[in-house]
Amino acid sequence: MKIISKLFLVILLSGFQAFHASGAYVGIEDSETLILQTSDKKSAMDELLNVLLLRSYNTRLVILSTTTLGTAAGIVGAFLLLRKRSLMGDALAHSTLPGIAIAFIIMVSFGGSGKSLAGLIAGATLTGVLGLLIMLAIRNTTRLRDDVAMGMVLSVSFGVGLAILGVIQNMPQASAAGLESFIYGKTASMVMADFMTIMVVALVCSLAAILMFKELALLCFDDRFAVAEGFPALRLDILLLVLVTTVTVIGLQSVGLILIIAFLITPPSAARFWTEKLPTMTFLSAVIGAISGWLGASISALVPKMPAGAVIVVVASSIFLFSMLSAPKRGVVARWIRYKDLKKKVERQHVLRAAFELVEEQKNGDSIVSNYPFPLQKLLAKRTWKAPKLNRILNHEQSIGHLERRADGMLQLSESGFGEAARITRNHRLWEIYLVTHADIAPSHVDRDADMVEHILEADMVHRLEEELRNSGAWIPSPHELSTRTQAS
Amino acid sequence: MNWTSFDTWIVVVGALCAVACTLPGCFLVLRKMSMMGDAISHAVLPGIAIGFLMTGARSSIPMFLGAAITGVLTAVFTQWVSKFGRVDRGAAMGIVFTTLFAVGLILIVQAADHVDLDPSCVLYGAMELTPLDTIEVLGVMIPRAAISLSIVLLLNLSLITLLFKELKLSSFDEGLSNTLGFSSNLLQYLLMSMVAVTTVAAFEAVGSIIVIAMLIVPPATALLLTRRLIPMIVIAASVGILSAILGHLSAVTVPKLFGYESTSTSGSMAAATGFLFTIAWLFNPSEGLLVKQFRNTKKINESVPVEELSS
């Protein structure tokens, strides 16, 4: 966690440097023409370096603030994701709109311009928290569920916000232009005061989340335990959501109302694929948020007609997609490969066990099963499998020396194959007996249940079963009648 | 104020939109998928943009198709991300719809030079202007929005009547529905495309915020008042119509009380649904918040003898 706070310090310091380096206030129009002029004069390579190394004043403000915002949203969003409240950010973001509109009206009626970011943020936070409380009230006092409560607050408060904005647009005193940027985001129009507000608020939010790390983690993983231990769970819940609201509100102007939601959801979801530990996940989530903010804003500054908010979201989603596919443990590809491996193993074991059972049928009263050959047709009839698939598995077994195809068309297990088959069948039967004697499962039902677990039995467990059943060493007969085409599993 | 035929048309368009939305909305609420309305109404943006870029005209068939496809894709992608990636459903939905919205936004901005499609009109709509854009049908001038919304309403109504039994079953017991052979996924995608088509039909005329509100709030209100499906749908539709009327009335009158001009009708219609919900929340006869409070107090007063209280 220290790393995160250090990161913040660095970002904040560079923000101050940005202020001192320029020493001048760059207004909206100035900054836009500034970008246009530089892009005309300098070569593409220079421009790339300019943006990436934050040389130009305006891009420095924009990129630093989106990076900071990504970090803060990543940290707060991690808890939101684990609390399974990701869409709460969506609802809260929408419920800030009436606050923004009301704050604007109040500021105008007191003679201001109505566009002070701090004032708008205060209004937004106020109705955001109000929306949050209404959401909790609906959930706690009615039969309606979380999703309805969220949808309710979202749509109604946004409607109220639009209605008030409609009033503002007809107001003679002030132009409401610029309030729109709260919905779609307008990073290019960022000024120093906005930048400082965003920096300070993001820092405070992240620090609050880090300071309350233990409590929030407890709330996310086991809220009832938190209550039983005497933690004020409801107040913690509200604290978390207030942090979310605050991050949402400062994000509104730079990435827009709809896209700030992505900032809260996507980086933590991507981080979740790489780790099982909350501190690591929070850190990764902050880093992914920061990278999306930095890269997105850079691309938007380099390529004409690329809205920063949208590009940031696309970058974050790409990171998410990459994580989802390629994370080593939880990733889709890794899990798919594991699944395929397991499936192959299970199929091989099925073949070997079926072969062993065929051999076993020919023992004619001997106490020891000897390795007789058997025809392919009989093996094919043992289970519901198709000839090509069975042949594929048989070929594989042949290649690793478990099986021989004899000249007369019969199949015979090799010595190692016979041992392996005997071991697998033994495990299967042990497990079946265990289920029959200890788990009260009818012998006629046991084959199928045993099939599912035998493939993952550890050697250790097998020993324990053998001991428990006092049956070690001897050959174990099947507890149920062996049939061809048993229930497929 | 003076009520003109303009106002009547605005209310009619609003009511049509409300009923068209509440029909699939009831099932969304029952399936715990209320937020899907919000997600889809944002996620159709790239579909709309591509359809628009292809034809260069609004309300064209490709645009409807594009939106319906992206609407269903939202549901499919959400399902994939939450199933294959084992991501929480809400989070999956959030990731998918914000990404699609962002892609749509980029598409629109890229083509902004030769395209006149304002993303803000997708959200707000310009309901006040619907009566100006009319088509003559059987000698009567009818707003284009009223016609397209009527078609969508009829479409939704017939689909829901046709598949009522299946939708009901899969909404209340997904497992049973699947075992009986009515794929709950397929029905879900059908609902999603209904929502998407309704959103597109509504977005230009009335704004998608009204779609989101009408999808969720009237059914939620109805759910507070009844526990049966058909009464729920009827009540939801009535609440929708009532909020359309109330919304327009308040849009015209309320700002005047404070000395301002009138305001956005779609916004106030959405707000009106919230107002009706609050009334049902507080005062509904069986489990209203205040009613329950009152009943509890009465019960305590009746059940505890006065002597015991004083002792």
B110 touches chain A (CB under 8 A): yes
Assess whether pLDDT exceeds 90 at residue A316: yes
A424/A283: higher pLDDT: A283
Instruction: List all residues 6 or more positions away from A411 whose beta carbon is below 8 Å from its beta carbon.
Output: A355, A373, A374, A375, A376, A379, A394, A403, A404, A405
Pick from A87, A144, A330: CB nearest B94: A87
The model's confidence at residue A268, banded by pLDDT at 50, 70 and 90, is very high
User: Residue B304's pLDDT is what?
Assistant: 59
Distances (CA, A) of A46 to A42, A54, A298: 6, 12, 14
User: Residue B183's pLDDT is what?
Assistant: 81
- Kindly report the nearest CA distance between residue B142 and chain A, in angstroms: 26
In chain A, % of residues over pLDDT 90? 14
Q: Count other C-beta atoms under 10 Å from residue A397's C-beta.
A: 22
User: Residue A354's pLDDT is what?
Assistant: 85
Domains and CATH numbers, chain A: 2-263 (1.10.3470), 336-469 (1.10.10.10)
Q: Count other C-beta atoms under 10 Å from residue A435's C-beta.
A: 20
Assess whether pLDDT exceeds 80 at residue B172: yes
Could you tell me what percentage of chain A is helix, strand and coil, using 3-state DSSP and rounding each to the nearest 5? 75, 0, 25
Secondary structure (3-state) at A145: coil
- Kindly report the nearest CA distance between residue A149 and chain B, in angstroms: 9
- Ranked by mean pLDDT, which of A178-192, A207-221, B178-192, B252-266 comes out on top? A207-221
- Ranked by mean pLDDT, which of A330-344, A432-446, B197-211, B292-306 comes out on top? A330-344
Give the mean model confidence (pLDDT) for residues B4-31.
88
Number of A/B CB contacts below 8 angstroms equals 212
Q: Do B106 and A81 touch (CB under 8 A)?
A: no
Cα–Cα distance for residue pair B156/A272, rounded to 1 Å:
39
B105/A484: higher pLDDT: B105
Give the mean model confidence (pLDDT) for residues A464-487.
61
User: Residue B177's pLDDT is what?
Assistant: 83
Q: Which of residues 58-117 of A touch B (CB under 8 A)?
A: 81, 84-87, 89-90
Assess whether pLDDT exceeds 60 at residue B306: no
**Residue boundaries of the structural domains of chain B:** 5-212
Residue B189 and residue B75 in contact, taking contact as beta carbons nearer than 8 Å: yes
A317 touches chain B (CB under 8 A): yes
Assess whether pLDDT exceeds 60 at residue A443: yes
B133 touches chain A (CB under 8 A): no
Q: Which residue of A has its CA nearest to B214?
A: A155
User: Residue B124's pLDDT is what?
Assistant: 55
User: Residue B87's pLDDT is what?
Assistant: 87
Average per-residue pLDDT in chain B?
81
Contacts of A142 in chain B (CB under 8 A): 224, 281, 287
What ipTM was estimated for this complex?
Answer: 0.84
Assess whether pLDDT exceeds 80 at residue A131: yes
Give the mean model confidence (pLDDT) for residues A258-281.
90
Assess whether pLDDT exceeds 70 at residue A340: yes
Contacts of A164 in chain B (CB under 8 A): 263, 267
